[in-house]
């Protein structure tokens, strides 16, 4: 007995099927866009670390001193990198497709 169209469709999305992409890419990101996202990602991580560890001199306009560093770290690195990565890519998709979307990320746990 031949498999029905529904069975074939279910098999095509099986986790045990051949490796494949479910994303249809019209063209890869150009190098300039990747460079800009990478720079933005690094800057956002710098800001996260600055909020976590520094009390003063966040742009390091002078050599780092003991009094610039917080006595006690409240918060943790935790999800900062993942939050930044997700925000960057969601923002890119929102702008690319002109989506009426609001990216909401947790109740304040994503940054120190």
Residue 110: its pLDDT value, please?
A: 55
- Domain contains 11: no
Neighbours of 80 (CB within 10 A): 21
Which positions of the chain have pLDDT values less than 70? 1-23, 106-112
- Domain contains 2: no
- Domain contains 84: yes
Residue 40: its pLDDT value, please?
A: 95
pTM above the 0.75 mark?
Answer: no
- Domain contains 85: yes
Range of the domain at 41: 36-55+65-112
- Domain contains 9: no
- Domain contains 97: yes
Asked if residue 103 lies in contact with residue 91, where contact means CB atoms within 8 angstroms, the answer is: yes
Residue 78: its pLDDT value, please?
A: 78
Residue 60: its pLDDT value, please?
A: 92
Residue 75: its pLDDT value, please?
A: 75
Domains: count for the chain = 1
């Amino acid at each position: 007995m031949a498999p029905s169209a529904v069975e074939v469709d279910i098999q095509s999305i099986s986790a045990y099927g051949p490796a494949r992409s479910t994303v249809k890419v019209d063209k890869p990101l150009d190098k300039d866009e990747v460079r800009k996202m990478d720079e933005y990602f690094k800057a956002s991580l710098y800001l996260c670390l600055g909020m976590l560890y520094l009390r003063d001199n966040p742009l390091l306009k002078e050599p780092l001193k003991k009094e610039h560093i917080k006595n006690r770290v409240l918060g943790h690195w935790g999800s900062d990198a993942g939050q930044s990565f997700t925000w960057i890519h969601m923002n890119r998709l929102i702008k690319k497709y002109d989506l009426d979307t609001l990216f909401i990320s947790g109740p304040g746990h994503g940054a120190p």
